[in-house]
Amino acid sequence: MNYQKFIISMLLAFAVAFAVSCDEGKPKTSDSVLIPVEDFFKNPEKSSYQISPDGKYFSFKAPYQSRMNIFVQEIGKDSAVRLTSETERNVSGYFWANNNRILFLKDTGGDENFQLYGVDIDGSNLKGLTVFPKVRTQIIDNLEDIENEVIIGLNKRNPQVFDPYRLNIVTGEMSQLAENPGNIQGWMTDHDGKLRVALAMDIVDQILLYREKENDEFKPILVTSFKESLSPMFFTFDNKHLYASSNLGRDKSALVKFDPATGKEMEVLYENSDYDIGNASYSRARKVLEAVSWTGHQYTGRHYFDNEYKAMREKLESKLSGYQVSIASATKDETRMIIRTYTDKSLGAYYYYDSNTDELKKIADISPWLNENEMNAINCVSYNTRDGLKIEAYLTLPKGYTMETAKNLPVVVNVHGGPWARDTWGFNSEVQFLASRGYAVFQLNFRGSTGFGKKFWESSFKQWGLSMQDDITDGVNWLIEKGIADPKCVAIYGGSYGGYATLAGLTLTPDLYACGVDYVGVSNLFTFMKTIPPYWKPMLDMLYEMVGDPVADSLQLAKTSPALNADKIKAPLFIAQGANDPRVNKAESDQMVEALKKRNIKVEYMVKDNEGHGFHNEENQFDFYHAMEKFLAEHLKPQNK
């Protein structure tokens, strides 16, 4: 873990978009039958496939009473056993702890206080392992080579910090491995499951701590500003050195080998001139570094270190030509695996692959009711901001249009959340829904979006409502100048930070948008930083540097807090909020609605009492998307053509 990645995860990046056509630029799909809203947003038929460590079983998530639950199926047989019976919330995530037991996480009503449960693969011995009120569970190490144990983090002792525990997944017995002194934000183990690395924060400095043996004291070996980052990924196979992502002394993060004994980088293994590196993969069975990947404008790029892994991937890509290929899960000996495919027009499918026999067999399509031939391609585009930054973006056009023929279209500007996250090329249900209704959808990686280097990231600091918002405005004007967008038929929509950007767009550029939709968005930068979850509080000084200090920067924050500038809004607004949201408190939406109603500005407000930061329950998503569609049908219209 590193602090850039911590901040990236702080605000969940929701990307939802909607629109309905204006009279001019009317879509060429008017005679076709519209795909129902539910088809885009209902639960997958089957998803999240994994294979057991011994390769005898598949597991997957599938709907049970409209909630995603866990099923297990013996390979070669047709019937599956349902292991869980959750009816309030979807199972959040799960993994195989050993050949006989699966662990899964769930929260309550979207509060994000995830609790860990275990269940045997025949559905027996279901046990809550970390069922503590208002306590969040982290998975530190699933201890693949230790049959009945995992290492977890809990903020049970102190809600602001996580202590590491060794947990017996059968009995539920726990032993605390260390006590967090109050500044440690992440823990890491070696290949033997020994707790050897910790990452701490001292105001705005990142501290890497290390110990040679598990009974030694942690000692600091590297101190950097949070603006720089050396993020350990995993140990070398002799457990002496670290593979890490580092942007120390460089703009783009690179894959390096790091010596914890000296606190120095030993060598740079790979760096890309355009993008930060992402994940590195290794073979646990063969003990070799396999590859490192990065997210480009369109495809995921890879640099290979291991020829056997490269040959296997190239063989799969040849067999599944035309699709992006990822390895979702593998057996302990890595000979059998679950393969996932996708494109910009398809959620894809899962396959079973046996490398011993070269057998590749489709298991399931994720959303078989969606025909990829009826979906719309995502075009990779770019534009320059007023101060010369290049912004990579995505433009999805409705059926019947090309980049050459797209003229005077209604557009929904879909701003991603985070804000320290990014949009990527791939299937997006909301984007496809909009395009099916005849709308162009514009997604953009404004400054601060991740993966483009340190300088691009830092250029967003204290720029909420300022240059970050200018990047969005410049993108809209680029579409208008190109003749693609009808200047009177542009809507802005986003969730989390994207919700803030929606509100900021309506207050700072009130004549640019015909309407807006704010989904769990920040409205007041002062109150937002007072209501963050307790485990964010150790990072508050860093947040002040990145967003703004409520005291030192009070004039700026007042100027860029939409709730304090609601009198500038002219366009109709729709706001959606989860009552249990721990990240963007419901009060953020409440005060915005109240401020608009006082000024007789039209605002629609949807609150779901059993949701948190974004709607996850199927029926709530249906309500939200239907309401969005109706709202935009009413307000995204030409004005005095």
- Residue positions annotated with a catalytic role: 496, 581, 613
CA distance 452 to 295: 9
Joined together, the tokens standing for residue 434 give 């909009």
Beta strand spans in 5-66 (E): 47-51, 57-64
Q: What are the CA-CA distances from residue 389 to residues 122, 452, 597 (Å)?
A: 56, 11, 38
The residue written with tokens 């059993």 in the block is 610
The residue written with tokens 């109706």 in the block is 630
CA distance 476 to 412: 10
Joined together, the tokens standing for residue 209 give 């701590």
Cα within 13 Å of Cα(212), Cβ side: 2
**515: which DSSP letter?**
E
Chain centroid to CA 159: 24
Joined together, the tokens standing for residue 113 give 């206080």
CA distance 601 to 551: 30
Q: Phi/psi at 328 (nearest 5 deg)?
A: -85, -30
Beta strand spans in 390-542 (E): 390-396, 409-415, 440-444, 485-495, 515-519
Three-state DSSP class for 202? strand
Q: What are the CA-CA distances from residue 429 to residues 14, 18, 60, 352, 618 (Å)?
A: 12, 11, 21, 25, 14
The 10 Å Cβ neighbour count of residue 279 is: 14
Joined together, the tokens standing for residue 548 give 């703004």
| 388 dihedral zone (left: phi>0; alpha: psi -120 to 50; beta) | left
